[in-house]
Structure 1
Amino acid sequence: MGFMQKFVDKATLVDEEYDDEYLDDVYEDEEEVAEEPEVTPIRSVAPMPDLSRIVTVRPRSFNDIQAFADEFRKGLPVILNLAETNEDDRRRIVDFATGVCYGLRGLLNPISDDVLLMTPHTVKVESRRSEPTRTF
């Protein structure tokens, strides 16, 4: 018998004296244990935020980002007023706000050159103006 034949014989699980009764006992025990899983009703993971409140934040530098990120994570709309922010920090803040909105499935809506509105996915913003929308 060659090397390959020995390998094939050991690798296969064919046994001449295989007992089917053993498997029948195993499967019977599993059928007794298997029960219908309990189904729990779907419920909200977190309470809905108070949408009658909108947070306004005036960050002066990139170090102030936690102030609006935490409020937005709670599900509240956030108005970012960047009028007092220098140009470099403004770019970083807008990039960060865009990432936060994307990560939480919200939107970043420009209101003016200095003001942005971050809306969570639970809030819809309707625009009635005919001007084309800007992108950052």
Structure 2
Amino acid sequence: MGAVRKVASYLGLGIDQEDRYYDDEEYVEDEYMPASERAAKRWRSTVESSRIVMVQPLKYNDAPTIGQHFREGQTVIMDVTGMPMPEATRMVDFAAGLAYGCEGRIERIADRVFLLAPSHVEIETT
């Protein structure tokens, strides 16, 4: 516990709402949590899902669909073979940023086919 929090606790001021986070639908007091850990908690799936979603976008405007599935903790196979090369490149860049931002992984599994795996999914290559 930090010095400011000790003094606030001693004075009976308690812990502010900002110093708490949700864990399984209830408040939990936390001494200190780095921003990277708070972000990881936010993106971590609450339910272990074994669902794999296959997406074949035809235009870059289909990107939100990929993002929605990935943020829900689902593994996504993205096939960009039906897209023109410039849009396919943009889509792969988007997917790479999405995977990085949500602490997941992106792997090329075939020509213009990519696997986006959330952090709780292990990928083994042989």
Higher relative contact order structure (alpha carbons within 8 Å, sequence separation ≥ 6): 2
**In the alignment, structure 1 residue 104 sits paired with structure 2 residue 102:** yes
Alignment of 1:43-122 (within 5 A): 43-44=23-24, 47-51=46-50, 53-122=51-120
How far did 1:36 drift?
A: 8.1
How far did 1:34 drift?
A: 3.4
| Higher strand residue share | 2
Secondary structure, in 3 states, of the residue corresponding to 1:84?
A: coil
Contact 1:49 1:74 survives alignment (8 Å): no
Q: How many residues align?
A: 96
Secondary structure, in 3 states, of the residue corresponding to 1:111?
A: strand
The share of aligned pairs that are identical, in percent, is 29
Give the distance between the partners of 1:109 and 1:34, measured in 2 at CA. Answer: 52
User: Which protein has the larger Cα radius of gyration, Structure 1 or Structure 2?
Assistant: 1
- List runs of 5+ in structure 1 lacking aligned partners: 1-29, 129-136
The answer for the alignment partner of 1:18 in structure 2 is: none
The answer for the alignment partner of 1:8 in structure 2 is: none
Instruction: Encode CA deviations 1:41-75: one digit per residue, 9 max, x unaligned.
Output: x8356522422x10100001101111111000111
- List runs of 5+ in structure 2 lacking aligned partners: 1-7, 25-41
TM-score, length-scaled by structure 2? 0.66
Contact 1:57 1:81 survives alignment (8 Å): yes
Secondary structure, in 3 states, of the residue corresponding to 1:116?
A: strand
The answer for the alignment partner of 1:34 in structure 2 is: 12
Contact 1:59 1:81 survives alignment (8 Å): yes
TM-score, length-scaled by structure 1? 0.61
Secondary structure, in 3 states, of the residue corresponding to 2:110?
A: coil
CA RMSD of aligned residues (A): 2.7
